[in-house]
Amino acid sequence: MTEPKNKIKQITTILGLILFFIAGFWTGKKYDKNQESVIVIKSNPEMEEYQEITGEFVRTWIDADAEACANTFAEDAVYMIPGEQILFGRTEIKASLKELFDNRGNQEIITMAEPAKEVITFQNWAVIRGTGEESVMKADSTVSKETYKWIVLAKKKDDGKWETVWDIYNLD
């Protein structure tokens, strides 16, 4: 008599597991349809939209416009610069940029580029990884060149414009 009870228990357990997995699969599929997938971009032309995030920063940096440069960052952004304290918020970032630009003196930036190498997107967020190069002509006509690597976390605002939430770079 115990053998039929064990068989019924085994069958019930197997059916329960099958229903559990079906319910889990169905829930996962339903959830996935409601979510945007993570997308990894490594080539153009898809890269152009994300390249614009750093493009505006580079243009305002070259122009030494602290206000416009700081406005590429979110109000509560975090900016991590080699050898400096972490800057928290657009106000601190703007003050640091203003001081930096005011101290440029007779220096003139010859070139600056920050090409994106890879983008990972999810919903209205993007993580962008790239490299950078800046050449500066000093007052004595010597040129210094700096290369670096960077990562930016950006968020698309309601108006469709991107803003940097976190920005970190390391010198080569």
| pLDDT at residue 75 in the model | 97
* Radius of gyration, alpha carbons of the chain: 26
Domain spanning 39-171, CATH architecture:
Roll (3.10)
Q: Give the global pTM.
A: 0.74
Query: What's the CA gap between 81 and 53, in Å, rounded?
Result: 18
Higher-confidence position of 38 and 23: 38
Confidence of residue 22 (pLDDT cuts 50, 70, 90): low
Question: 120-164: per-residue pLDDT in tens?
Answer: 998 899 999 999 999 988 777 888 899 999 999 999 999 989 999
Backbone angles phi, psi at 67, to 5 degrees: -60, -55
- DSSP letter for 43, please: S
Beta pairing class for 87-88 and 162-171? unpaired
Which residue has 């007779």 as its token pair?
Answer: 106
| pLDDT at residue 146 in the model | 93
In contact, 52 and 162? CB cutoff 8 Å = yes
| pLDDT at residue 52 in the model | 85
